[in-house]
Copies of this chain bind each other. A is one copy, B any other.
Amino acid sequence: MDVMEFFKKSEGNWFSHRTGHYLGARKQEAGKSEVSFTCYERDHPKVLAVCELHQVDPASVAGGAEVTWTGTTAFDEKTHQNMAFLVPIPDKYDPLSGLILRNKGYAEEVPVAGRYRMHADESMTLVTENSTTESEERLWFASANLRLRTGVMKHAGGFSITTFCSEIRRLPPEPAKAEQEVKS
């Protein structure tokens, strides 16, 4: 499975349940989000805009994916909305690994790039570093409608967080059921 095949399996709407373990404090933090994932061909204007931002040749990219999420964390109980646009560039001589460019980072205003690797067990690992954080994530499908993610984040301050997400696909209502509901 290559990176765009993985992205295409991720397309759709998901409910994401996230837990963080704060290793030093032995506390946990929970969050819930609604996530939407959409893939784009490499010649789409949104993909070309990220290529332009990072000054890379559009011919070298595999495509793009837009992720939007709306969620709450236990920290402030506010609803957060965010978007990221991901553009993978497979390595020339080892296309199962490569760079993933973003429109911008979660916390930083400068665009962040990570490195991905596709594994024989159909999982994907993603390593992202910025000035304050080093993060390694692993993503895989337990089934077509259940995606799992684990992560280890090390902060420059020395503390570490492990994270776990269970992501359940939001299925469209079955036509028969919807019809029944209308009838009743």
- Which residues of A approach B to under 8 Å, CB–CB? 15, 17, 19, 21, 23, 26, 28, 30, 32, 119-121, 136, 142, 146, 148, 150, 152, 160, 162, 164, 166, 168
Contact = CB atoms under 8 A, between A and B. Distances in A.
A43 to B, nearest CB: 35
A135 to B, nearest CB: 12
11 contacts: A15-B26, A17-B26, A17-B28, A19-B28, A19-B164, A26-B32, A121-B121, A136-B142, A142-B152, A148-B150, A164-B164
Number of copies: 2
A152 B142 CA distance: 8
A70 to B, nearest CB: 15
Given A120-B120, A166-B162, A21 B26 contact: no
Contacts of A160: 146
Nearest to A19: B19
A142 B121 CA distance: 18
Contacts of A142: 136, 152, 162
A146 B150 CA distance: 13
Closest 6 CB pairs of A and B: A164-B164, A21-B166, A162-B166, A19-B19, A17-B21, A142-B152
A28 B26 contact: no
A138 B18 CA distance: 18
Contacts of A26: 15, 17, 32
